[in-house]
Amino acid sequence: MRAVLVGPPGAGKGTQAQILASEMSIPKVSTGDIFRANVSGGTELGKQAKAYMDRGDLVPDEVTNAMVRDRLGQEDAKDGFLLDGFPRNVAQAEALNKILDDLGGRLDAVLELRVDQEEVVKRLSGRRQCRNCNAVHHVDFEPPAAEGVCDTCGGELFQREDDREEVVRHRLDVYREQTEPLVSFYEGEGILVAIEATGSVDEVTERAKAALRSGA
Task: Report the catalytic residues.
Answer: 13, 88, 127, 160, 171
Single residue of 3, 34, 93, 135 touching Zn ion by CB under 5 A: 135
Q: Binding residue per annotation — 152?
A: no
The site for Zn ion, by CB under 5 A, has a size of 8
x/- letters, 44..83, toward ligand AP5 (CB under 6 A) = --------xx--xxxx----x-------------------
CA 89-17-133 angle, 5° bins: 110
Single residue of 48, 152, 159, 178 touching Zn ion by CB under 5 A: 152
Q: Binding residue per annotation — 169?
A: no
Please report whether residue 144 would count as binding ligand AP5 according to CB under 6 A. Answer: no
Per partner kind, with CB cut-offs from 5 to 8 A, the member of Zn ion, ligand AP5, none near residue 125 is: none
Q: Where are the beta strands (DSSP E) in 1-158?
A: 2-6, 28-30, 81-84, 109-114, 127-130, 136-138, 157-158
- What does the DSSP assignment read for 54-96? HHTPPPPHHHHHHHHHHHHTSGGGTT-EEEES---SHHHHHHH
Residues 6 or more apart whose Cβ sits within 8 Å of residue 70:
none
Select 105 or 155, whichever has its Cβ closest to Zn ion. Answer: 155
